[in-house]
Amino acid sequence: MIRKLLGATLALGLTTLPALAEYPEKEIQGIIQWGAGGSTDTVMRAVTPHAEKALGGTIVMQNVTGGVGAIALNQVANGDADGYQILFGAENPLLYKVMALGDKDYSDFTPINILARGIPILVARPDAPFNTYPEMIAYINAHPKDVKFGSTGPGGLPSVVTAMINQKTPIDVTFVPYDGDGPALTALQGGAIDVMPAVLGAAVEGIKGGTMKTIALFDTEASSALPDAPTIVSTNPEFGDLLPWGPFFGVFVKKGTPDDIVAKLTAAYAEGAKAEDFLALMDGRGFKMMNISGDEAQAFLAKWQSTTAWLVQDAGLTKASPADFGIPKP
Amino acid sequence: MMDVINNFLIPFLDLKLLSLVALGTFAGIYIGAIPGLSVTMAVSILISFTFSWDVLPAISLMIGIYMGGVYGGSRTAILLNIPGAPSAIATALDGFPMAQRGEAGEAIGITTVMSFFGGLVGIIVLAAAAPSVSAFAIRFQPRDYMLLAVLGILLVGSLSGDSLVKGVFAGAMGLMIGSIGLDPLTMDQRFTFGSTAMMGGISFIAVMIGMFGVSEALIQLHSMKTPGVKQVINRIVPSFGTIRKYLPLSLQSSAIGVIIGALPGTGGDIAALMAYDHAKRVTKNPEVPFGKGAREGLVAPETANNAAVGGAFIPMMTLGIPGDSVTAIMIGALFIHGLHPGPMLMVEQPHMFWFIVGCLTLANVFMLIFGLTGIKIFVKVVEMPRTVLIPLILLLSIVGAYAVNNSLTDVYWMLGFGVLGYFMRLYGYSLGPVILGVILSRLLDDNWRRAIISDQESLPRLMHGIVTSPLSLTLFLAVIFIFVSKTPLWAMIKRGRA
């Protein structure tokens, strides 16, 4: 009996031993929600080497694409909550439930770091017959359906920015769908569409080169990447209650991951996000650094989800009401 | 001018850059040759790998891989009937029959020299006329892309082998496969049956590997007893006379390649298929019929897909708009290295443009050198006994399909389509149209919807747009002409005149 007990204790001791070892004791798998070369991919691959240094471990990055990122999200959510799988994601999962794309979102995860957010900007082709936001609205009202807006499908940045505009002044325009803001901005330069709500980083070089022009920056303050671009609140202060808003990049682990591991990863990414060359890259691409974690990140995610889900709900773009999932109205 | 020459010569004179381009080209040929390992994948892995490098070495390596990879796809297409990349599908149509006749060495020789030629034309156009070509390419409206896709669909006529009806059926199946997944325009699910794994659609590379690779292995099981085809190797580098004979065709194919490559929505795969179709149309009396090993059937797609490389750089360098998926990733790489690809790149940093032109030229030369060496060893693949060859093909197919997305689902799709492809071949359906359908599905679907939505969902408005734009009208007339020329009506008109 004693021998059996002894054996059991020994066995128990042996099995629990690895858990006591210092995390990370093996390679960590990093799952990127979007394809290689995209903005999420670039941001994550830029920050991770610095975080690895702070962590003293290796993170092997892998792109798992498809289903607007749902395939990657499910893969990590179905794995173990042991900190050896990290999800590198963007804002999209917060709309999965209302868009009927999946039954999981970031509430099944613990945020490690919300690194940065993009700044929405409204751009037009250079020869469009308007130069400012009020002029654009006046032109649209005078020529219903004539102005062509680029869009990227319900739930994407253009649909949210359009929903914001519609909430303040309903507009009657034609929406031409593209699969991403890159192709849409190309079409804008070729004159296939007139106006495109895009993320600043994607449009900044075109604006500088004169192949497109700024209508308004959808933010509360001017951007250092494009200091002359007028903010929407400078002409239309009513947008103040919806802004700042923007697509974001975040690092997540599955909910239930031990606190000490979360703390270690949080410290590593907070440190990594301060690296000189990473900051330079983010600045150059027009992203606004956030570098927040813990409760602050949780609160940001909750607010983002509530604002956005209800905006697209009111625009009639959702497949299910946010209320069904307990997403509070802002 | 001195500046231009200096920057152009940087990769030639710096030993480190020179060897990086060489290394990249060499690796690219093998990456391109393995189905499932794509240039896009290799370049995106390189991005993180070269993060801490300087920009020039990083770009040198990527360009080498790109140039080598586009060419490498032809190797397995000729030797095993498995295109290493989508842009080599047309190459297999006549390359494999040549190998089966013991002329693999000659086929690879022609392919290599013609790829070099096409690559060169692409580079020359990039260097000489980039701004005007990109100004033209960007003018393409959704309706033009739609018409281009319809033009592509008509290629079914060239790819369907003996029976047009079966070809049309296979093409329609391809279009259907391409529409599975999340509709990128509305986020609605199509044919997914509620499964998350289906939301990403069916990987087109998995379909291609299954249809060509696995079905080829299964077909070869029929002839287990026959020994491998003995290869005659007396002429690898085509004679000057041969090159001169195909010069008009290769120039025309290069033009197709550059334009299609420069269009932001299309790439080398469509260019190669269109060039193949063009070759079939203009070659009146091939020495060997198309599909049975016509040299013209190798010349056209191989010049076109390498010309498309230079083409893809045109909008990238002048406007910061990617010409295809590889240049899209390279734009990301330039950003990481602190450059700002966009309309101002040529103005602010013209040296970068000439450096890239230099790298492309150098990679093209290395492609020729590496392509023409070692052919004797390569063609041995065809002489291998079936008992070795068949397991090898299957292994390559499985690894390739898995590598696309690191997903086992793709392997299952690949095997499923392999079995389907086997039965289709057994019953006389050619597989080219299936792949054509998958390639064109999104191009046609998305742009048709964009075009009609842009014109406020009114068909008369769309037609008015087509007839008032010279570009759209040209494409529209081309569609009508090609369609009519394939009907009995055309034959009647011709006979009536004669």
Give domain status of residue A14, yes or no.
no
Residues in B touching A155 (Cβ below 8 Å): 187
DSSP one-letter code for B181:
E
Q: Is A127 helix (H, G, I), strand (E, B) or coil?
A: coil
**Which pLDDT band holds residue B120 (cuts at 50, 70, 90)?**
very high
pLDDT at B202 over 90: no
Instruction: Choose the mutation target among B196, B339, B445 for the interface with A, i.e. most A CBs under 10 Å.
Output: B196
| Same domain, yes or no: B359 and B416 | yes
As given in the structure block, the two tokens for residue B194 are 């509620």
pLDDT value, residue A7:
53
pLDDT value, residue B260:
92
**Which pLDDT band holds residue B114 (cuts at 50, 70, 90)?**
very high
Radius of gyration of chain B (CA): 22
Nearest Cα of chain B lies from the Cα of A258 at a distance, in angstroms, of 28
| CATH (domain of A64) | 3.40.190.150
| Same domain, yes or no: B475 and B366 | no
The string of DSSP codes covering A250-300 is EEEEETT--HHHHHHHHHHHHHHTT-HHHHHHHHHTTEEEEEE-HHHHHHH
Specify the residue for token string 């296979």: B170
| Same domain, yes or no: A161 and A97 | no
pLDDT at B86 over 50: yes
pLDDT value, residue A281:
84
Q: Does A190 touch chain B (CB under 8 A)?
A: yes
The string of DSSP codes covering B85-121 is SGGGHHHHHHHHHHHHTT-HHHHHHHHHHHHHHHHHH
pLDDT value, residue A68:
76
| CATH (domain of A224) | 3.40.190.10
**Domain boundary pick from B454, B472, B487:** B454
Residues in B touching A180 (Cβ below 8 Å): 184
What distances in angstroms separate CA B489 from CA B154, B155, B238, B485, one per listed residue? Answer: 17, 19, 41, 8
B378-392: buried (b, 16+ CB within 10 Å) or exposed (e) per residue? bbebbeeebeebbee
Kindly report which listed range (A138-147, B9-18, B181-190, B216-225) carries the lowest average pLDDT score: B181-190
| CA pair distance B75, B79, nearest whole angstrom | 6
| Same domain, yes or no: B446 and B487 | no
Q: Does A320 touch chain B (CB under 8 A)?
A: no
Q: Closest Cα to residue A301, out of A324, A327, A322, A325?
A: A327
| Same domain, yes or no: A284 and A266 | yes
Q: Is A111 helix (H, G, I), strand (E, B) or coil?
A: strand
Contact predicate A257/A110, CB 8 Å: yes
Those of residues 47-76 in A touching chain B at CB distance below 8 A are 49, 61-68, 70-71, 74
**Domain boundary pick from A222, A241, A260:** A241
| Same domain, yes or no: A205 and A230 | yes
Total Cβ atoms within 10 A of residue A10? 10
| Same domain, yes or no: A49 and A186 | no
Please, what is the average pLDDT of chain B?
Answer: 87
Kindly report which listed range (A112-116, B145-149, B196-200) carries the lowest average pLDDT score: B196-200
Q: Does A220 touch chain B (CB under 8 A)?
A: no
Contact predicate A219/A231, CB 8 Å: yes
pLDDT at A236 over 50: yes
Q: Which of A61, A71, A208 sits opposite B48 (nearest CB)?
A: A61
**Domain boundary pick from A241, A258, A280:** A241
| Same domain, yes or no: B185 and B210 | yes
| Same domain, yes or no: A230 and A257 | no
Hey, which bits of chain A come out as E strands?
28-32, 59-63, 85-90, 109-118, 120-124, 148-151, 174-177, 195-199, 213-217, 248-254, 287-292
The DSSP bridge partners found for residue A110 are A253
Q: Which of B181, B347, B456 sits opposite A145 (nearest CB)?
A: B456
Nearest Cα of chain A lies from the Cα of B483 at a distance, in angstroms, of 28
pLDDT at B187 over 80: no
pLDDT value, residue B497:
64
**Which pLDDT band holds residue B498 (cuts at 50, 70, 90)?**
low
Kindly report which listed range (B82-86, B244-248, B411-415) carries the lowest average pLDDT score: B82-86
| CA pair distance B203, B198, nearest whole angstrom | 10
| Same domain, yes or no: B289 and B389 | yes
pLDDT value, residue A2:
53
The 10s digit of each residue's pLDDT in A179-223 is: 777 888 888 988 899 999 988 888 888 898 888 999 999 988 888
As given in the structure block, the two tokens for residue A150 are 């680029």
| Same domain, yes or no: B437 and B493 | no
Q: What is the mean pLDDT of residues B158-165?
A: 81
| Same domain, yes or no: A153 and A236 | yes
Identify the residue with better confidence: A257 or B348: A257
| Same domain, yes or no: B348 and B448 | yes
| Same domain, yes or no: B400 and B363 | yes
| Same domain, yes or no: A86 and A71 | yes
Phi and psi angles of residue A79, each rounded to the nearest 5 degrees, phi first: -85, -170
The 10s digit of each residue's pLDDT in A285-313 is: 888 899 998 899 999 999 999 888 888 88
| Same domain, yes or no: A236 and A130 | yes
Q: What is the mean pLDDT of residues B30-39?
A: 82
Look up the domain containing A150 and give its range: 120-241
Q: Which of B183, B201, B453 sits opposite A176 (nearest CB)?
A: B453
Give domain status of residue A277, yes or no.
yes
Please, what is the average pLDDT of chain A?
Answer: 85
Identify the residue with better confidence: A317 or A260: A260
| Intra-chain end-to-end CA distance of chain B, in Å | 57
pLDDT at B259 over 80: yes
Q: Does A168 touch chain B (CB under 8 A)?
A: no
What is the total count of domains within chain B? 2
pLDDT value, residue B60:
92
What distances in angstroms separate CA B329 from CA A30, A59, A162, A324, B401, one per listed residue? Answer: 20, 22, 29, 40, 21
Is the omega angle on the peptide bond into residue A244 within 30 degrees of 0, that is, cis? yes
| CA pair distance A113, A120, nearest whole angstrom | 21
| Same domain, yes or no: B309 and B237 | yes
**Which pLDDT band holds residue B314 (cuts at 50, 70, 90)?**
very high
Is the omega angle on the peptide bond into residue B131 within 30 degrees of 0, that is, cis? no
| Intra-chain end-to-end CA distance of chain A, in Å | 63
Give domain status of residue A258, yes or no.
yes
pLDDT value, residue B161:
75
| Same domain, yes or no: A230 and A164 | yes
pLDDT at A23 over 60: yes
| CA pair distance A185, A194, nearest whole angstrom | 10
| Same domain, yes or no: B492 and B417 | no
pLDDT at A10 over 60: no
pLDDT at A19 over 70: no
pLDDT at B476 over 90: yes
Nearest Cα of chain A lies from the Cα of B106 at a distance, in angstroms, of 38
Give the highest mean pLDDT range of A35-39, A49-53, B284-288, B330-334.
A49-53
**Which pLDDT band holds residue A18 (cuts at 50, 70, 90)?**
very low
The 10s digit of each residue's pLDDT in B210-228 is: 988 899 889 888 887 777 6
pLDDT at B473 over 90: yes
| Same domain, yes or no: A106 and A253 | yes
Q: What is the mean pLDDT of residues A314-326?
A: 84
pLDDT value, residue A6:
52
pLDDT at B30 over 70: yes
Q: Does A321 touch chain B (CB under 8 A)?
A: no
| Same domain, yes or no: B367 and B468 | no
pLDDT value, residue A126:
92
The 10s digit of each residue's pLDDT in B333-375 is: 887 777 888 888 888 888 889 999 999 999 999 999 999 887 8
**Which pLDDT band holds residue B189 (cuts at 50, 70, 90)?**
confident
| CA pair distance B182, A263, nearest whole angstrom | 37
**Domain boundary pick from A241, A261, A283:** A241
Measured in whole angstroms, the distance separating CA B388 from the mean position of its chain's CA atoms is 29
Contact A66 B405 (CB under 8 A): yes
| Same domain, yes or no: A184 and A295 | no
Q: Which of A186, A284, A285 sits opposite B264 (nearest CB)?
A: A186
Look up the domain containing B20 and give its range: 2-454
Nearest Cα of chain A lies from the Cα of B243 at a distance, in angstroms, of 39
Give domain status of residue A218, yes or no.
yes
Pairing state between β A28-32 and A85-90:
parallel
In total, the C-beta contacts within 8 angstroms joining chain A to chain B are 151
Q: What is the mean pLDDT of residues B92-98?
A: 90
pLDDT value, residue A13:
46
What distances in angstroms separate CA B158 from CA B151, B152, B168, B297, B300, one per listed residue? Answer: 12, 10, 11, 11, 13
| Same domain, yes or no: A112 and A172 | no
| CA pair distance A116, A193, nearest whole angstrom | 29
| CA pair distance A42, B334, nearest whole angstrom | 11
Give domain status of residue A2, yes or no.
no
* Cα diameter, chain B: 70
pLDDT value, residue A224:
82
| Same domain, yes or no: B414 and B489 | no
Its ipTM equals 0.82
**Which pLDDT band holds residue B3 (cuts at 50, 70, 90)?**
confident
What is the total count of domains within chain A? 2
Give domain status of residue A16, yes or no.
no
| CA pair distance A58, A30, nearest whole angstrom | 10
Q: Determine what percent of chain A is predicted with pLDDT higher than 70.
A: 93
